[in-house]
């Protein structure tokens, strides 16, 4: 029977094997991503970026804010020069905790010139990140009652359609911790 420790050792060995080709990359960064349906896009983007920039290695760690934030904070308390995660996407709770504990570093405008393009309404104090929002939505309608499928124009211009909605917006800033590992 495998113990939890055996499983972790096997996972670590697999990760080392899979990333051996990237071991010599000049720039190594680690990114926290949310687990589940949000995982595929950051993984594909990281793969494409590393393919176009062979001198860069991006290690993605998927998890939840509740589980990862304490680990990130602890890694910085142990060694601010060697954080567990360099950057990622965080919910409002983890973002507020990170700002209060001063674990976020401002985005360096020389390294990330696009910071200047973040609208003021979405900037975090001291340029430690930007608020983002994601929402999943769909439209359900009765084909017997509404013959033509609704479009954005018909929904916005018609007052005869009863709309029931449930808003489930997840908001939070994308933050950067500590320095990049080079």
Give residue-wise pLDDT tens across range 132-148: 666 556 667 778 887 88
| Mean pLDDT on 22-26 | 63
**At 68, which helix (H) or strand (E)?**
helix 65-78
Q: How many CB atoms lie within 10 A of CB 78?
A: 10
Percent of the chain whose predicted confidence (pLDDT) is above 90:
25
Rounded Cα distance, 35 and 37, in Å? 7
| Mean pLDDT on 62-78 | 93
Residue 131's pLDDT band (cuts 50, 70, 90): confident
Is residue 13 predicted with pLDDT exceeding 50? no
Q: Taking the model in full, what pTM does it have? A: 0.60
Residue 162 lies in a domain: no
pLDDT computed for residue 157 by the predictor: 52
What's the whole-number average pLDDT of the chain? 74
Residue 159 lies in a domain: no
CATH of the domain at 42: 3.40.190.10
**Residues whose CB is less than 8 angstroms from the CB of residue 58 and which lie 6 or more positions away in sequence, other chains included:** 29, 30, 31, 46, 49, 50
pLDDT (tens digit per residue) in 91-109: 888 888 988 898 888 888 8
Which segments of 3-76 are extended strands (E)? 27-34, 56-63
Residue 61 lies in a domain: yes
Number of domains in the chain: 1
Residue 116 lies in a domain: yes
Q: How many CB atoms lie within 10 A of CB 111?
A: 8
Is residue 120 predicted with pLDDT exceeding 80? yes
pLDDT computed for residue 148 by the predictor: 80
Query: How far from 177 is each of 47, 58, 131, 141, 181, CA to CA, in Å?
Result: 22, 15, 15, 45, 11
Residue 10 lies in a domain: yes
Residue 18 lies in a domain: yes
Q: How many CB atoms lie within 10 A of CB 180?
A: 15
Residue 47 lies in a domain: yes
Residue 150 lies in a domain: no
Range of the domain at 101: 4-134+171-176
């Amino acid at each position: 029977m495998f113990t939890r420790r055996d499983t972790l050792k096997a996972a670590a060995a697999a990760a080392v094997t899979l990333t051996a080709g990237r071991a010599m990359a000049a720039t190594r960064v680690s990114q926290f991503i949310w687990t589940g349906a949000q995982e595929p896009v950051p993984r594909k983007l990281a793969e494409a970026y590393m393919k176009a920039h062979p001198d860069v290695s991006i290690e993605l760690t998927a998890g939840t804010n509740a589980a990862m934030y304490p680990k990130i904070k602890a890694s910085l308390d142990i060694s601010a020069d060697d954080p567990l995660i360099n950057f990622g996407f965080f919910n409002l709770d983890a973002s507020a905790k990170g700002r209060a504990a001063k674990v976020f570093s401002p985005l360096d405008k020389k390294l990330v010139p696009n910071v200047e393009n973040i609208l003021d309404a979405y900037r975090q104090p001291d340029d430690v990140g930007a608020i983002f929002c994601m929402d999943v939505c769909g439209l359900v309608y009765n084909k017997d009652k509404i013959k033509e499928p609704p479009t954005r124009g018909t929904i916005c211009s018609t007052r005869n359609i009863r709309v029931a909605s449930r808003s489930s917006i997840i908001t939070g800033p994308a933050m950067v911790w500590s320095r990049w590992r080079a």
